[in-house]
């Protein structure tokens, strides 16, 4: 070793700017081997070893223990020969040797340093490569903004430099004249090295320029750029006055690990070996990673914990600063244990709201992410070395962007949670502009708390991004596919568990698909253009008609096409209304059973089927005509015909009002026909009218005497009991283990028990497999087996196939419009009833779920409001229904099972009608009312009925559930006496009392 090796105060943590020399671990003159610990220093975090990179003999002057000295200041020397050892022991801090070696990266920016005493050849002050980011260890001089000899004022920008992240201005905080030697543009130089000088007078100006190799010498080795004058020290050896010894291996030190400090030598060794220090165990004081750890880890690298460096043939070019920074950051991220979760989202609503509010989709995505982060703060937290979590951070969202020259930068939108979309857009535009030119300042790209990377514009179908230290998650956005746009979160498992990530994605999906919940109105969403009508509604059942009326009431030009002469759909012509007209007649017959109990003898009821049918037909015809008049009265253009799509904005209508029609937006409300399962003989029986469905039962010339019904759902059971009450013997065959399986379990059980008591000619068999159907009208044979037993045969004069309803959209030619189906042939929609095509909505039976008239109507209004730009959602958890058996079944909201599945901690209370005075009076004592509430909030989540007049009683319960009322509110409401509504107050008070008692008991 010809020249002494300088031992300096190392920078052992990102935040360390000075250190206290605690002890010398070697004595003056001691032989020191490469990797030996020569001293310990106290940083801002711990006491750590100082290792050396060379062998030699410890030489003075040595810094005195307990001295506090800035990072980079000389503490001692190593000499080659014992004879060269300078015995000067400890003293005051030795002058900084900034132009000479530094074991670790340079201290925080100190861009000007007086050179006079150190560089006698050059008068003035050195302008140094500033440290412009935490991770910056070197910079590339991009340009000089001033020329040698120019007058420089305090605050002037003299040059631009490229850091690991951006191109930034170099300002000076002194005045003077710019003087050489000036670093040549394109030179790469470590932080802290002089790039030029400031002198006091024009006469002192030097015009020289110097260049350093584009690949800098590794930090920790003398790198004084030639021909810069070497930095003198007080040492007699003037250790840095001559060129530094060159490093044998010119690799750079490995990045500082995020989990614990590492000694400079450990970093250098790791860098030379291509190893990452992330996750490595440290055996030094306070767990610091030292050289021995690296060497130890290296020998065990075959275990797979550290990568093996394989020789790569060829002549590589040096990486740019940004490439190196990305490479190091990615290497550091290798130790983060991550997992990935993907969900698909529809972006249309977010795009619309972004457009309406003048923001880019990128900014809107960041805002949506922030909405979800608010509910999942851990996703915005991060792991801190030493097994700590940093949370409660503002939402500083980094968004990966490409630079004009193809690089990658991540500008950070600050405090996203606290700002509106338009404010964020204002913040984003200049950031993006600077990012493209790589002119971001550190505060504009440093320390994101969450990151978004969007590759959707490149058409990639899916990808995942890499979490970097300082964040716990990154979101990768790919291009829209058949299921929507895949968004994938990569999460640090030390901070976020799988459920948290999944639930974050679910909330993010909701925030993206329903931006109206956080960003206000979507604005008008009916596309403008050369259309025949603003909105086309296909189907005039409850869904289509309510939608069309709502739109027309708001001044929208609506056309409604329906393939029947009058509106009303299934509900009016084949469903709710005609079936309840029959039920009303059956009720009169049934009520006679109670007459005798009250001492009344009105005689045996006689059914005049013809008169009943006339009555029923009169109702539906009258209501159909009334409906048409109302529709036309509110200025809906009503067309009769069958519509199918020919493009996303046009349909062809065949039938009476045949035409082609171009529309701005469309609502599909085409219902769902009865489903016929593939039972041998079923289609033939339907064709010859031996069998009917709920669509075709309305042409009976007389009620059947022996009726078989396949399917014990709501329609099957209503029909079964009605025809029983009209006098028929009825057999119901159900495939499932229990009848009315969709009803609350106890309600269903009690209904079957009540039917067993009150409907003697009605038999319900479960676990049935129907093998075949055969026969003529009036004589149909149904072969079936129960629970795999022997095959039996039932002969009836009518078979009703009541096995549910399935949407059938084949005739609509949805593919022409690009509308996609979901499960079981239903059109897929979100809770705003929007399909995957943003201007096409679908409502009612055609979207599946509860196939009920009021559900369809509500969804129709929801679609209308969304088209009007007023956010609305259909909430199935508050929907309701009535099955018109005797007793009636009704429900609103959730059953206990459903509520539990949604995450509520529920409790329920019930009352049998047998104890109710009003029920006793009328003899309608079968049944119960059950109330389901959330234990914590006492909110009423559901009410379930088996009670005669449940169709009326459920109304109050609907308001309880819809209004999210509590037990306390219902308990204190005054109910009229004597009515069955009093039972609601009773139930609420009873449950409250129970909850109070169990709370006292500590349950
Ligand atoms: C026997 C029975 C009893 C019922 N009882 C009740 C009850 O008590 N309470 C209750 O809430 N619900 C009941 N329902 C269910 C209720 O009838 C439906 O849920 C409701 O009618 C669905 O409304 P919708 O608007 O979705 O469709 P629908 O009422 O079926 O209306 C769809 C309309 O679109 C038309 N159409 C279809 N395709 C096209 C096309 N391509 N072009 C033009 N027009 C088209 C159809 O002809 C129809 O007029 C009952 C159903 C049945 C079968």
Residue that the structure tokens 């979507």 belong to: 522
Say yes or no to pLDDT of 798 above 50. Answer: yes
Q: Mean of the pLDDT values across residues 469-477?
A: 95
- The secondary structure of 124-164, three-state, reads CEEEECCCCCCCCCEEEEEEECCCCCCEECCCCEEEEEECC
- In this model, does residue 118 exceed pLDDT 80? no
* Alpha-carbon span 394 to 389, nearest angstrom: 15
Two tokens, residue 891: 């429900």
Give the model confidence (pLDDT) of 816-842 as tens digits: 999 999 988 999 999 999 999 999 999
What distance in Å separates the CA atoms of residue 669 and residue 568, rounded to the nearest whole number? 12
| Confidence at residue 89, expressed as pLDDT on a 0 to 100 scale | 62
975 catalytic per annotation: no
Ligand 1 center from residue 543 Cα (angstroms): 8
What does the pLDDT read at residue 232?
27
**Quick one: which atom of ligand 1 is closest to the CA of 857?**
25
Residue with the two structure tokens 């923001």: 359
Structure tokens at 417: 């949670």
Question: Which residue ranges have their beta carbon within 6 Å of ligand 1?
Answer: 538-544, 561-564, 569-571, 574-576, 579, 642-643, 669-671, 694, 715, 811-812, 844-846, 851-854, 856, 884
Among 637, 640, 639, 664, which Cα is nearest to 650's? 664
Q: At 592, phi and psi to the nearest 5? A: -60, -25
Out of 340, 344, 447, 493, the active site residue is 493
Report the C-alpha gap between 85 and 81 in whole angstroms.
Answer: 7
Confidence at residue 99, expressed as pLDDT on a 0 to 100 scale? 33
| 880 CA → ligand 1 middle, Å | 17
Rounded mean pLDDT of 452-481?
91
pLDDT-derived band at 41 (thresholds 50, 70, 90) equals confident
Most confident range, picked from 15-29, 159-173, 503-517: 503-517
d(CA 871, CA 861): 11
For residue 730, how far is its CA from the centre of ligand 1 (angstroms)? Answer: 26
Q: How far is CA 552 from CA 540, 624, 638, 640, 653, in A?
A: 14, 19, 12, 18, 21
Q: What is the pLDDT of residue 424?
A: 93
State the closest ligand 1 atom to the C-alpha of 673, by its place in the atom list counted from 1: 30
Q: What is the mean pLDDT of residues 429-433?
A: 92
540 Cα: distance to centroid of ligand 1 (angstroms): 9
Q: pLDDT tier at 1003 (50, 70, 90 boundaries)?
A: low
Distance of alpha carbon 378 from alpha carbon 500, whole angstroms: 8
Percentage of the chain surpassing pLDDT 70?
Answer: 87
Task: Determine the distance separating the centroid of ligand 1 and the alpha carbon of 570, expressed in angstroms.
Answer: 3
Q: Average pLDDT, stretch 909-918?
A: 93
**874-898 confidence digits (pLDDT tens):** 999 999 999 999 999 999 999 999 9
Could you report the per-residue pLDDT of 930-939, keeping only the tens digit for each? 999 999 999 9
Residue-wise pLDDT for 334-387, tens only, equals: 889 999 999 999 998 898 888 878 899 999 999 999 999 999 999 999 998 888
Q: Judge residue 404's burial from the number of C-beta atoms within 10 Å of its C-beta, 0-12 exposed, 13-18 middle, 19 or more buried.
A: exposed
Residue of the CA atom closest to atom 45 of ligand 1: 539
Nearest CA, atom 49, ligand 1? 569
d(CA 538, ligand 1 centre) in Å? 12
**Mean pLDDT across 747-776:** 96
Q: Whose CA is nearest to atom 1 of ligand 1?
A: 575
Q: Do 2 and 80 contact (CB within 8 A), yes or no?
A: yes
Cα(190)–Cα(332) distance, rounded to whole angstroms?
21
pLDDT band at 865 (very low <50, low <70, confident <90, very high): very high
140-172 pLDDT tens trace: 888 889 999 999 988 888 988 877 667 778 888
> 981 burial class (0-12, 13-18, 19+ CB within 10 angstroms)?
middle
The rounded Å distance from CA 866 to ligand 1 centre is 22
CA distances from 802 to 48, 458, 621 (A): 80, 50, 25
Pocket test for ligand 1, best of 570, 631, 889 (most atoms within 8 A of CB): 570
DSSP three-state, residue 491: strand
Closest residue by Cα to atom 38, ligand 1, is 670
Q: How far is the C-alpha of 906 from the C-alpha of 877, rounded, in Å?
A: 14
Nearest to 618 by CA among 584, 566, 583, 578: 578
Are the C-beta atoms of 793 and 783 separated by less than 8 Å?
Answer: yes
Give the tens place of pLDDT for each residue, 542-589.
Answer: 999 999 999 999 999 999 999 999 999 999 999 999 999 999 999 999
Residue located nearest, by CA, to atom 9 of ligand 1: 576
Using most ligand atoms within 8 A of CB, pick from 537, 541, 669 the residue to mutate for ligand 1: 541
- Nearest atom within ligand 1 for CA of residue 574: 53
Nearest atom, ligand 1, residue 642 CA: 42
């Amino acid at each position: 070793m010809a020249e002494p090796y300088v031992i300096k105060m190392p920078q052992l943590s990102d935040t360390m700017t000075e250190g206290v020399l605690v002890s010398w671990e070697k004595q003056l003159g001691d032989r020191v081997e490469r990797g030996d610990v020569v001293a310990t220093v106290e940083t801002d975090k711990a006491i750590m070893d100082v290792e050396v990179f060379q062998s030699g003999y410890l030489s003075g002057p040595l810094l005195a223990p307990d001295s506090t000295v800035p990072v980079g200041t000389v503490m001692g020397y190593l000499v080659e020969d014992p004879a060269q050892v300078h015995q000067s022991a400890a003293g005051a801090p030795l002058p900084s040797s900034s132009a000479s070696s530094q074991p670790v990266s340079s201290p925080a920016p100190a861009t000007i340093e007086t050179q006079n005493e150190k560089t006698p050849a050059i008068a003035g002050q050195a302008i140094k490569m500033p440290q412009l980011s935490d991770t910056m260890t070197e910079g590339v001089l991009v340009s000089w903004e001033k020329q040698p000899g120019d007058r420089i004022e305090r605050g002037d920008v003299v040059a631009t430099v490229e850091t690991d992240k951006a191109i930034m201005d170099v300002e000076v905080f002194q005045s003077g004249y710019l003087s050489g030697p000036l670093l040549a543009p394109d030179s790469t130089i470590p932080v802290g090295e002089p790039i030029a000088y400031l002198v006091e007078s024009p006469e002192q100006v030097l015009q020289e320029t110097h260049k350093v190799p584009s690949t800098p010498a590794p930090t920790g080795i003398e790198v004084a750029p030639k021909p810069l004058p070497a930095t003198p020290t007080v040492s007699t050896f003037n250790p840095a006055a001559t060129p530094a010894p060159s490093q044998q291996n010119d690799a750079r030190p490995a990045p500082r690990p995020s989990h614990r400090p590492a000694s400079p030598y450990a970093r250098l060794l790791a860098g030379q070996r291509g190893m990452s220090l992330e996750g490595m165990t440290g055996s030094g004081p306070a767990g610091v990673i030292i050289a021995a750890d690296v060497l130890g880890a290296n020998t065990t690298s075959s275990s797979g914990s550290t990568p093996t460096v394989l020789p790569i043939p060829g002549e590589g070019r040096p990486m740019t600063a940004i490439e190196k920074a990305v490479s190091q950051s990615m290497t550091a991220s290798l130790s983060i244990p991550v997992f990935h979760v993907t969900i698909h989202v529809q972006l249309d609503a977010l795009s619309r709201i972004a457009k309406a509010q003048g923001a880019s989709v990128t900014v809107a995505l960041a805002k949506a992410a922030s909405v979800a982060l608010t509910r999942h703060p851990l996703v915005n937290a991060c792991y801190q070395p030493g097994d700590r979590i940093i949370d409660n951070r503002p939402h500083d969202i980094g968004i990966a962007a490409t630079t004009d020259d193809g690089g990658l930068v991540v500008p950070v939108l600050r405090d996203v949670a606290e700002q509106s979309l338009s404010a964020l857009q204002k913040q984003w535009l200049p950031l993006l502009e600077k990012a493209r030119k790589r002119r971001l300042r550190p505060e504009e790209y440093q320390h994101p708390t969450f990151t978004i990377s969007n590759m959707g514009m490149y058409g990639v179908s899916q990808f995942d991004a890499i979490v970097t230290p300082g964040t716990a998650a990154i979101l990768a956005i790919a291009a829209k596919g058949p299921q929507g746009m895949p968004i994938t979160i990569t999460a640090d498992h030390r901070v976020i568990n799988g459920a948290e990530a999944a639930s974050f994605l679910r909330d993010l999906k909701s925030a993206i698909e329903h931006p109206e919940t956080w960003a206000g109105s979507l604005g008008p969403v009916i596309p403008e253009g050369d259309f025949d009508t603003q909105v086309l509604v296909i189907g005039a059942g409850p869904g289509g008609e309510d939608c069309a009326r709502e739109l027309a009431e708001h001044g929208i030009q609506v056309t409604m096409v329906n393939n029947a002469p009058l509106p009303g759909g299934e509900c009016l012509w084949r469903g709710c209304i005609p079936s309840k007209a029959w039920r009303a007649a059956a009720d009169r017959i049934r009520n006679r059973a109670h007459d005798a109990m009250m001492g009344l003898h009105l005689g045996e009821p006689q059914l005049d089927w013809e008169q009943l049918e006339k009555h029923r037909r009169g109702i539906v015809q009258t209501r159909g005509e009334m409906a048409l008049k109302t529709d036309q009265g509110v200025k809906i253009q009503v067309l009769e015909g069958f519509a199918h799509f020919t493009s996303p904005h046009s349909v062809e209508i065949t039938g009476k009002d045949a035409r082609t029609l171009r529309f701005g937006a469309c609502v599909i409300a085409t219902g769902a026909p009865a489903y016929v399962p593939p039972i041998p003989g079923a289609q033939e029986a339907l064709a010859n009218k031996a069998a009917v469905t709920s669509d075709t039962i309305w042409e009976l010339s007389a009620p059947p005497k022996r009726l078989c019904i396949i399917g014990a759902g709501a329609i099957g059971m209503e029909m079964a009991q009605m025809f029983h009450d009209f006098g028929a013997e009825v057999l119901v065959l159900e495939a499932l283990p229990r009848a009315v399986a969709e009803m609350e379990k106890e309600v269903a059980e009690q209904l079957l028990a009540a039917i067993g008591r009150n409907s003697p000619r009605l038999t319900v068999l479960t676990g049935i497999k129907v093998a075949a159907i055969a026969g003529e009208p009036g004589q149909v044979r149904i072969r079936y087996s129960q629970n795999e037993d022997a095959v039996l045969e039932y002969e009836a004069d009518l078979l009703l196939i009541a096995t549910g309803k399935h949407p059938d959209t084949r005739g609509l030619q949805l593919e022409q419009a690009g509308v996609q189906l979901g499960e079981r042939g239903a059109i897929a929609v979100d809770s705003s009833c929007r399909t995957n095509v943003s201007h096409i909505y679908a409502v009612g039976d055609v979207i599946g779920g509860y196939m009920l008239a009021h559900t369809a109507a509500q969804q129709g209004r929801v679609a209308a409001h969304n088209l009007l730009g007023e956010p609305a959602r259909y909430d199935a958890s508050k929907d309701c229904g009535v099955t018109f058996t005797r007793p009636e079944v009704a429900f609103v909201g959730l059953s206990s099972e459903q509520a539990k599945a949604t995450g509520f901690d529920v409790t329920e209370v019930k009352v049998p009608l047998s104890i109710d005075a009003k029920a006793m009076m009328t003899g309608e004592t079968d049944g119960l009312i059950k109330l389901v509430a959330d234990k914590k909030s006492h909110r009423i989540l559901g009410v379930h009925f088996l009670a005669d007049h449940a169709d009326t009683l459920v109304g109050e319960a609907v308001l309880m559930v819809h209004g999210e009322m509590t037990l306390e509110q219902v308990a204190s409401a005054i109910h009229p006496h004597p009515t069955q509504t009093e039972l609601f107050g009773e139930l609420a008070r009873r449950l409250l009392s129970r909850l109070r008692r169990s709370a006292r008991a500590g349950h």
